[in-house]
Amino acid sequence: MAEALAWSDDEDSDELSFIESAIGMYESHKKDTSRLIVDDTTSVAVQLSAFRQRCENGAKPEVLERLNSLEERLDRLSGVEDKSPAVQTDNLIMVTCHPVNPNTISDLEFGATEQLETEVFYLNTESFKKQGRRKLVESDIQGCIQLCTRDIEETIVRVADGKVRIVAPLDTNRKYLSHRLHLKDDDGWKTISGVLKQGTFEATIPIPVKALVCVTSMGTVYDVTVGPNGMEHRFASNRDVLIRFPKGSVQSRQVVHVSLESADRSAIQQLKQNQPELSIVGYTDIVHIKHSEPFMKDICVELPMEMITSDDIAACELISVHFHDDDIVIDQKGNKLKKVGKNKIKLETSVFSGKSVVAKKRRHKQKKKKTDSENVHAIYGYNTPCSILVFLGVGPTENSWLIWGEIAPERDVEDVVLKRTNSNNLREPPNCRSGGKSFKKKTRIRVHLGSDGCFKMCNGVAETHTIVYLPTAKHNYISFPVTKTGTGEMAILHFKSETKKTPCQLYTAYFRPVGILPLSSESSDADQPTSFFDSRSMLTLVQNLDIGDLFALATELGISLVKYQDLRFMHGHHPVEFKMSIINKWLKSSTGEPEKALSQLTTALTNCDNNSVAEICKSVFREGRGFRKNDFK
């Protein structure tokens, strides 16, 4: 076995001779022309590096001496003198390459959202035993952090005069506008521009002294509805992340786009195990908050930060927060750290105010850098995610309803619902909003009733109606009257996009019209609820409760904080279901006569400043009927 593993000088003597002849040729060329392009020696450097890796453990002293001599000759050719200082620690180097269209973006800075095009390098000090050419090991971050290592021959690293010079290959099939090298030292992050030379990226940097890894997986996007009364929002994927919207932070009910990029714990642990010589300080999540208008008050974000070891807590400095664009904000001082466990701390990090980011004592003004395409998107709204909304109103006759279908951008949904409810006297059925639908241009959308539903068109009304969706239009809706067929309870409404060949099914809405908005005719009294505690009357009640008063109402009704939090996590994205679950929880725990239960409810509503709703509840119960359309005007 020992003989099989022994190094054979004869097998590779030809290769070493070939390398020596190539270096001699370059030396003659440089002597004749007094110049030499560094890239000319790259292939020879790659061969030498591979040769040393193969023979380092088993070659004879004569072979190693010959190899060292060739490396010194090649270093002199490239202008690298053998005066490199000893490197004591491993260091992290980040090289980001951005494939963009030069006509759209003038400059790019480092951002965590560029992970798909970010290459992370660290210097392996174990290979620094010999002064001269150094080895660079590369870890590639892609998607949800799949770690891999490329061949070391692809990248050349030289150390001279206290600096590190890196030559890295680039994908020649891509067009790169900017190249940045990011290194973290005691003074914070430093960004160094690189130089492109014949398909390679070159940069010279000071030798870094400290390593930090901030690795994130792909984020999940939420649409958070914020009202004037404020609220708290926790992420389902990481409930330790808390965002507080205080009262008065927005003027009206608005949708705020929030996303979270979670730190990939397993990937970092794997990196720590595979490369124990790499110093990892810590990692945290990254929160993105996107809002179309300035906040009226400061927004507070609370993040957990987990450490590899408890001793690293004091050394962890990097807090990453994104606001509106991809400019990264790094706060290194002034954070209030609270130790929660052995390897975990909680801290209140950054405060959002208006269109700027406040990191404790440091205020970073937002830079408004929009591309041409973003400006067009903002003006015309093309390809904007939209929701399909359904409303129910009073029809032109006593026995009819009015169906209202509307296409609205997701960011404006709450404002549209509020306007239709207050100005048009319409009611929105629960759970009838569609998910995000994007329309790249003008689109014709057919709206018609399902054949198995309980609705039919009024006499003289067309069977199919069309919404002509225009991204530039302020409103895109259609309305038409319908009557009940007398069979079934479920109404069905189809939305299909018109195409040249066949219509494409966009969305189907299902809802029960009775209980949302009763018919005004006397003939429909038999279908109306006869008691206040009928579920359909409850539904109308909770639709008129303010979500901001729900916690106080739950407390008045004797619902525990733990149960309230459980219901909030379960129905947090569906306000109607959340409010309904609070009322149902109270009903199930309530004992005694309905009159006493109603008295408790109206008292709780009064204490929560819902006096108008409390009076309606009293009058409805006294009359022994269900709610009517005029009750909440």
Closest CA to 521 of 395, 359, 350, 607: 395
Please state, as a whole number, how many other Cβ atoms lie within 10 Å of the Cβ of residue 171.
11
**Residues of 339-360 as b/e, b for ≥16 C-beta within 10 angstroms?**
eeeeeebbbbbbbbbbebbbbe
Phi first, then psi, for residue 623 (nearest 5°) are -80, -10
Spatial contact of 349 and 341, defined as CB atoms under 8 Å apart? no
Token output for 605: 């509503």
Does the pLDDT value for residue 231 go beyond 50? yes
> How does pLDDT run across 485-539, given as a tens digit for each residue?
877 778 889 898 876 666 788 888 888 787 676 654 333 343 444 566 655 566 6
N residues, the chain: 633
**DSSP designation for 40:** G
Which H or E run includes 347? Answer: strand 344-353
Residue 389 has what pLDDT?
92
The pTM of this model reads 0.29
> How does pLDDT run across 374-396, given as a tens digit for each residue?
434 444 455 678 889 999 888 87
Q: Once rounded to an integer, what is the mean pLDDT over residues 330-348?
A: 43
Spatial contact of 629 and 394, defined as CB atoms under 8 Å apart? yes
User: In this predicted model, which residue has the larger pLDDT, 559 or 363?
Assistant: 559
Q: Once rounded to an integer, what is the mean pLDDT over residues 299-316?
A: 53
Residue 594 has what pLDDT?
65
Angle of helix 611-623 versus helix 594-607 axis, rounded to 10 = 160
- Is residue 401 very low, low, confident or very high in pLDDT (cuts 50, 70, 90)? confident
Does the pLDDT value for residue 549 go beyond 60? yes
Q: Once rounded to an integer, what is the mean pLDDT over residues 576-589?
A: 75
Distance CA 315, CA 395 (A): 67
Residue 166 has what pLDDT?
58
Alpha helix segments (H runs only) across 6-83: 9-33, 42-55, 61-77
Residue 534 has what pLDDT?
59
